Structure 1
Amino acid sequence: MSYAPVNGLDMYYEEHGTGAGRPVVLIHGALSGIGTSFGTILPFLTKTRRVIAVELQAHGHTADIDRDLTVEDFAADVVALLDHLGIDRADVFGWSMGAATALRLGTDHADRVGRLVLASVCFTLDGMYPGLLDGIQELRPEHLHGSEFHEEYLRTAPDPAGFATLVAKVKRLDSDLPEWSADQIRAIAAPVMLVLGDSDIIRPEHAVEMFKLLGGGVPGDLTGLPKCKLAILPGTTHTSIPQRAEWLAPMIDEFLDV
């Protein structure tokens, strides 16, 4: 459990497990941290590999700085952490905002990425259900008081009084979410595993579209399996994906071990 000086941040990260292969970096969702995003799956993943779990700007143990939250900055911060640790290339597992950050790593920092596991990600805004973000600007910090995200923040943040600022910054991020073109998705060199809940905030049709852009959607018995994978978890919402560790861990292990 350490801090690394990256791009004006003292970024908190944890290292768990050992392994001779590429390490895997875990990137959490918005308003979340290592515990709420990956606490359930960490014990599974660390059995066979080195895992580096990060906490992004203003989240968890990592203090905020005078900078808006953007997926581009998050990705650059992860690259700077890899530099700090002397890691040339890593696999990446991101959930929600962390998956968008991992996707940005795959498109903008391709030489630093081995394999990508993207849980609940869309490459265009119409990948989410219509109207999903309509009320996001009405979200107030007190609406989240008592939630696991707020409780984790109070336990871990350097300034527990900063939760309202974090919520305000996440709202700004949600008002200008990143998008990628179809050509950018097709050009991703890293093998990608897409993970989705069947009752997620991402439309399943969009996940299938992205899967096809990555080279999926083929009759594998005739053509061979594509390098990408698609996993749709039954009876699973966006926020319950982190609780599906017993399903996800063996799928992720198999994907990363290739």
Structure 2
Amino acid sequence: MKSIFKSSTLKSLLILAVMVITSQVYGQKVKPSESGYAPANGSKVYYEVYGKGKPIVLLHGAFMTIDTNWGQLIPELSKNRKVIAVELQGHGHTPFSERKLSHTDLASDVTKVMDYLKIDKADVAGYSFGGAIAYQLAIQSPQRLNKLVIISATYKNSGWLPEVNNAFKGMKPDLFMNSPMHNAYDAVAPDKTKWTKFLEQMIASAGQPFDLGDDNISKISAPVLIIAGDNDGLDKTELSKTYRLLGGGVSADMGPMPKSQLAIVPGQSHVSLMMQTATILNYLNSFLQ
């Protein structure tokens, strides 16, 4: 299992490197209209703001930055939306903190950024690790949310396939050394010497079981769009159960169409899904409008 994980992870990192390069070379790069740090629960969280209009908050995946996760989508989304992209604890520009990682605290950090920017409510989109935080935000601060978009993420570790959970337990910091993620971190981190500590913290968190609760998910009142790759590591049986908890999986010919939606993108892995800019943008625009 260890060698399989190492091979698949290195392949994913290679894809990520291509994605980053493509974003930098071919993407229509835009500069934020505002950026800085918001005070949040004894620390500070970095944010960037793009465009004008109805606000949407973007939450990135594990080990990623705003640019590596959202670099190709932000130029398109910001054409008619106010985009607020956040870098979570220890990621990118946001400094490393000894505070234990928790979904509750990270979701609270996001609302503190919204408070700082005087945004009462927003749509929220989260990818992978950021998707789990988005679920938590919907649970603990439902009044701050209009619509929720979850991309290749789950609210409990049993939502991943067993081999993915085994891979989480086998991760080591050395695997990420000199990777595209490492380079992206070094490019913006306020203290590059915290890289290994950051990895250790994230890996320890990834290896811990978590479950935000089926009951809590079923009580989410906001419409939810779930986007997943057909081979992105999520257990699709569990994903189907999640969709049912959100009111989906019904025969809409015999009753009203549910407010939540599920999109399975064919031929996509966990990492390659985020390279499908046009597809994701189409789903986002259709759902959010």
TM-score between both structures, scaled by the size of structure 2: 0.85
Describe how 1:143-222 pairs up with structure 2 within 5 A. 143-222=175-254
Tell me if 1:229 matches 2:261.
yes
- Which residue is equivalent to 1:30? 62
Residue 28 of structure 1 aligns to which amino acid in structure 2?
H
Q: 1:135 to 1:220 in 2, by over 3 A?
A: closer
CA distance in 2, matches of 1:61, 1:10: 10
- Which residue is equivalent to 1:101? 133
- Whether the aligned pair in 2 keeps the contact of 1:196 and 1:207 (CA below 8 Å) is no
The alpha-carbon deviation at position 137 of structure 1 amounts to 4.2
CA distance in 1, matches of 2:72, 2:266: 18
CA distance in 1, matches of 2:169, 2:234: 19
- Name the % identity: 36
- Whether the aligned pair in 2 keeps the contact of 1:36 and 1:148 (CA below 8 Å) is no
The structure with higher relative contact order (CA 8 Å, sep 6+) is 1
The alpha-carbon deviation at position 92 of structure 1 amounts to 0.3
- Whether the aligned pair in 1 keeps the contact of 2:157 and 2:165 (CA below 8 Å) is no
CA distance in 2, matches of 1:221, 1:137: 44
Secondary structure of 1:180's aligned partner: coil
Q: 1:43 to 1:177 in 2, by over 3 A?
A: farther
Tell me if 1:16 matches 2:64.
no
Q: Which has the higher helix share?
A: 2
Tell me if 1:254 matches 2:261.
no
Q: 1:150 to 1:192 in 2, by over 3 A?
A: same
CA distance in 2, matches of 1:160, 1:55: 16
- Whether the aligned pair in 1 keeps the contact of 2:217 and 2:245 (CA below 8 Å) is yes
- Whether the aligned pair in 1 keeps the contact of 2:157 and 2:209 (CA below 8 Å) is yes
- Whether the aligned pair in 2 keeps the contact of 1:96 and 1:119 (CA below 8 Å) is yes
- Whether the aligned pair in 1 keeps the contact of 2:172 and 2:203 (CA below 8 Å) is no
Residue 276 of structure 2 aligns to which amino acid in structure 1?
R
CA distance in 2, matches of 1:44, 1:196: 20
Residue 275 of structure 2 aligns to which amino acid in structure 1?
Q
The alpha-carbon deviation at position 12 of structure 1 amounts to 0.8
| RMSD value, Cα | 1.4
Secondary structure of 1:218's aligned partner: coil
- Which residue is equivalent to 1:73? 105
- Whether the aligned pair in 2 keeps the contact of 1:71 and 1:178 (CA below 8 Å) is no
Alignment gaps of 5+ in structure 2? 1-34
- Whether the aligned pair in 2 keeps the contact of 1:123 and 1:180 (CA below 8 Å) is yes
TM-score between both structures, scaled by the size of structure 1: 0.94
- Whether the aligned pair in 2 keeps the contact of 1:11 and 1:56 (CA below 8 Å) is yes
- Whether the aligned pair in 2 keeps the contact of 1:89 and 1:112 (CA below 8 Å) is yes
Between the two proteins, the alignment pairs up a number of residues equal to 255
